[in-house]
Amino acid sequence: MIPGNKYIPYDERAGNESIVYFTRDLSADGLRKLYALISHSLTGKIAIKLHTGEPHGPNIIPRPWVKSLIENDIPGARIVETNSYYDGDRYTTAQHRETLKVNGWTFTNVDILDEWGTALLPVHGGKWFSQMSVGVNLLNYDSLLALTHFKGHVQGGFGGSDKNIGIGCADGRIGKAMIHTTPGQPNQWDIAGEEFMERITESTKATIDHFGKHVAYINVMRNMSVSCDCEGVNAAPVVTPNVGILASLDILAIDQASIDLVYALPEHFHHDLVERIESRRGLRQLTYMKELGMGNDRYVMIDTDNGGSRIYPAEAVKGVKPFEG
């Protein structure tokens, strides 16, 4: 096993290449432009999994962007969430709904997937799980769009599409406990390091296997604190520059490309985020996704701002400006 603190350069990877679309346009229009390129995979009733945040969280994807996307491009789609595993402002459905109001998610009826119970999805090829517990309402949808705020994470190192789905679709009482806690331990956060990354990834695999080809991924690389949006106003100040938006039909490719963009930044810009990723062994998310056959860690990045030409991470981050809050 390659340890989760070892970054693998592109030329040391093997296998096929997937397509990842890129724009520097961090706006509602930029989001809509990339969605249009991967939307053909989404049919029927569409769930949009995004992190709606703790009260007054400063770094979540802007609500007006999401509102514009839904109203113009995915009418009838529903934002979906699950309750939190920790005791806080999203622990119960009632608390969660109040937080949704505080954070401005009032333009649509958010579906809290575990409001009415749980369901078990099979985990194929996992070493930790044979099944994963998810919010039962997930089964009401035909397609899934993972709309992810890419950032750091206190335990996962980074939160990309893998974390958004693996933690975010697992229900708040059973599924998240399966990922975070060894049964009988007094510390609910005792699982960490490579094992934690593998558990997240197996949870993700259960969900994306359920949807088959009807899954698409968008990562928004903006306001990238080393803290997750679950830390709300207590999140560490952002020091990493904003980069852009990525979209793909391959979950490994999009998370790998996001990581590659971070590592391509000048050291003084990426130091804090890279330290968070490596100290938590977060890169194991990527290698384990590859081991489980969830996608490709090689990709062609398409620059949608410049005629659809191929672009490499070092070019994509060239000239980025220091973060300004």
CATH code assigned at 74 = 3.40.50
Minimal CA–CA distance to 176: which of 188, 184, 187?
188
- pLDDT of residue 321 exceeding 80, the answer is yes
In a domain, 2, yes or no: no
The whole-number pLDDT of residue 233 equals: 74
Count of structural domains, the chain: 1
In a domain, 323, yes or no: no
The whole-number pLDDT of residue 103 equals: 96
Q: Give me the chain's average pLDDT, please.
A: 96
Q: What is the mean pLDDT of residues 37-41?
A: 97
Query: If pLDDT is split at 50, 70 and 90, which confidence band does 252 have?
Result: very high
Minimal CA–CA distance to 250: which of 68, 30, 41?
41
Q: Which domain holds residue 84?
A: 10-316
- pLDDT of residue 60 exceeding 80, the answer is yes
> Whole-angstrom Cα distance, residue 310 to residue 105?
36
Q: What is the mean pLDDT of residues 52-56?
A: 94
- Show Cβ contacts of residue 35 under 8 Å, excluding neighbours closer than 6 positions: 69, 73, 74, 145, 218, 247
Q: Which amino acid is at 41?
A: S
Q: What is the mean pLDDT of residues 30-43?
A: 98
> What whole-number percentage of the chain has pLDDT above 70?
100
In a domain, 177, yes or no: yes
Query: Crossing angle for the helix pair 28-38 and 63-73, nearest 10 degrees?
Result: 40
The whole-number pLDDT of residue 325 equals: 73
In a domain, 321, yes or no: no
Q: What is the mean pLDDT of residues 247-258?
A: 98
**pTM above the 0.75 mark?**
yes
> Whole-angstrom Cα distance, residue 34 to residue 219?
10
**Beta carbons of 105 and 79 less than 8 angstroms apart:** yes
> Whole-angstrom Cα distance, residue 169 to residue 113?
8
The whole-number pLDDT of residue 235 equals: 82
> Whole-angstrom Cα distance, residue 214 to residue 212?
5
- pLDDT of residue 275 exceeding 90, the answer is yes
Q: What is the mean pLDDT of residues 88-99?
A: 97
The whole-number pLDDT of residue 318 equals: 96
The whole-number pLDDT of residue 91 equals: 96
In a domain, 322, yes or no: no
**Beta carbons of 17 and 300 less than 8 angstroms apart:** yes
> What whole-number percentage of the chain has pLDDT above 90?
94
| Residue pLDDT, tens place only, 137-158 | 999 999 999 999 999 999 999 9
> Whole-angstrom Cα distance, residue 145 to residue 47?
6
Query: If pLDDT is split at 50, 70 and 90, which confidence band does 324 have?
Result: confident
The whole-number pLDDT of residue 228 equals: 83
